[in-house]
Structure 1
Amino acid sequence: MRRRTAREKALQALFQIDMSEAEPNAAIKHVLDDKENSDYLTTLVTGVIDNKEEVDKLIIDHLEKWTLERLSNVDRNILRVAVYELKYCDDIPANVALDEAIEIAKKYGDEKSSRFVNGVLSKIKETLESSL
């Protein structure tokens, strides 16, 4: 499974977890639709869940005139996956994490999602880079 596909499936699994409080493994299995799992998909989903408090705090700290709860479930989970990659996946260049999130937002979000995701993630990226 390509990493882009893993990111998209992670978004779908996290969306399902948000909406129905599904267990992570059940959500992953559901979105795979009998296709083979990838370690990266599992890493993204469990990583976001295990670090949700810290990931969400980073997002909240960089939202202007928005609350996390007010974001669409799609945008919120795209941001979560990308922030997890930015903060915890040293083998993923920051620009790749941003570009992937923007492309996924174009595909799954509304017409303003990609610009919104780009703005929030760019600020988070700057914060993380300045803290190194």
Structure 2
Amino acid sequence: MSARSKARKRALDILFQADVRGDEPAVVLAAEAQRAASEPARQASWLYAREIVDGVIDHRDEIDEQIVTHARDWKLERMPAVDRAVLRIGVWELLFNDEVPSAVAIDEAVELAKEFSTDESGSFVHGVLGRIARTA
């Protein structure tokens, strides 16, 4: 597994924890930063995970607006927390990270959804991100 794939999993964990606990993502990110400081072997994945979470924090309103606009009859609060976190990561990569090709951002998000969410989540995430990518 690539360092970026590991980083996406770490970012998913941070965003999911914040959402479920009702904490600000920055608070969970700070706690994870302390933990990461004691794990130099995981430094490569930590740097990109932090970049993702910081990006989601910085662009949260725009990201959530894109998700709601393209989710077709799904309200953000009705989505499983894992799907919300995965979509936020995917939208951030699509719209705000020029280093990641759209197809890679979508594929990685779909894989996270398949691994950590419901049976239907992979196709749901694929559909939402695909629509966003076509309009970006």
User: Is TM more than 0.5 here?
Assistant: yes
Moved over 6 A (4+): none
The CA RMSD over aligned residues, in Å, is 1.7
Which residue is 2:19 aligned to?
18
Tell me how far 1:27 sits from its aligned partner.
4.2
Alignment of 1:3-82 (within 5 A): 3-20=4-21, 21-22=23-24, 23=27, 24-29=29-34, 34-35=38-39, 36-37=42-43, 38-82=46-90
- Alpha-carbon distance in 2 for matches of 1:11, 1:63: 19
1:107 is aligned to 2:115: yes
34 and 107 in structure 1: CA distance in 2 versus 1, 3 angstrom threshold: farther
Provide, for residues 9-63 of structure 1, a one-character-per-residue CA deviation record: whole Å limited to 9, x for no partner: 1000001111220502114556x59533422111001110111001000101101
1:51-84 CA-partner distances (Å, limit 9, x unpaired): 1001000101101121000000000000000000
Between the aligned partners of 1:29 and 1:4, the Cα distance in structure 2 is: 21
Question: Hey, what's the Cα distance between the residues in 2 that align with 1:72 and 1:79?
Answer: 11
State the partner residue of 1:118. 126
CA contact (8 A) 1:14 1:27 kept: no
Higher helix share: 2
Q: How many residues align?
A: 127
1:87 equivalent to 2:95? Answer yes
TM-score, length-scaled by structure 2? 0.86
- Structure 1 vs Structure 2: percent identity of aligned residues? 39
The answer to whether the 8 Å contact 1:9/1:28 transfers is no
Q: Which runs of 5+ in 1 are unaligned?
A: none
